[in-house]
Amino acid sequence: MIVLLPPSETKSEGGSGVLDAAALSFPSLRGKRRTAAAALKRVPLRDATAVLKLGARNAHEARLNRELTTGPVRPAVERYTGVLYDGLGAATLDADARAWVDQHVVIASALFGLLRAGDAIPSYRLSGSTTLPDLPLKAHWRDAVAAAIAATGEWVLDARSESYVALGPAPVGSAFLHVETPEGRALNHFNKHAKGELVRRLAETRAEAASRDELLAWAAAHDVALHPRGDEDLVLFV
């Protein structure tokens, strides 16, 4: 099983060492990563705040894109912050649960395409909805990311947001995860946190599932309010 997560706009600071592009997972994406990084670096700093949709508070983040090969790195699951990653709480997992995360969690990225949770990356600023002047991200990533996911041969629980699904769909037979109240109301803030908490629960129980039915059986055994929707998808009630 692979759990596909979205990244986050916010990133933690610090780390150690520098990016080793050759060590990142999904080596089939190396060329696409170089192209995306080059396009990002070509955005003049004077234009970066508008292109990257930065405000006065975070305008300084544009400079991070000039330091992709020299800035410190840390595991992707620790680099990304925000509500979802707070719910997952990777830093507080025990060694076995953290190993589960490193094995089963894959994070989408507009810059790197796909990352395993343990891949060491620098801080950067680029979202899936960004329009780079000379690189349409959807066209750039879609086929390559879809092929890389399919090549794993794993059943996929897709917990990404729509903008990242557009950068590379999961194979037919994967389950897209919805988060709602029992009354059917979609959520925003709690949607993300619930997804993080679900991944944490999966990690803590060392869950193994090769299909939607197997994941539903796991949910029933662990009192998780996960239910089928349609022929493929899943809904988590919170």
Distance CA 24, CA 116 (A): 8
Q: What's the mean pLDDT when you consider all of the chain?
A: 95
Note the pLDDT tens digit of each residue in 15-50: 999 999 999 999 999 999 999 999 999 999 888 889
Q: Does residue 228 lie within any of the structural domains?
A: no
pTM of the predicted protein model:
0.95
Which pLDDT value is given to residue 46?
A: 85
pLDDT tens column, 118-157: 999 999 999 999 999 999 999 999 999 999 999 999 999 9
Residue 153, both tokens: 């041969």
Domain count, the chain: 1
The answer, yes or no, to whether residue 79 has pLDDT greater than 80, is: yes
Q: Per residue, what are the HEC states of 17-82?
A: CCCCHHHCCCHHHHHHHHHHHHHHHCCCHHHHHHHCCCCCCCHHHHHHHHCCCCCCEEEHHHHECC
Q: Which domain holds residue 171?
A: 2-208
Task: Quick: pLDDT tens for 60-76.
Answer: 788 899 999 999 999 99
Residue 153 within a domain: yes
Is residue 75 assigned to a domain? Answer: yes
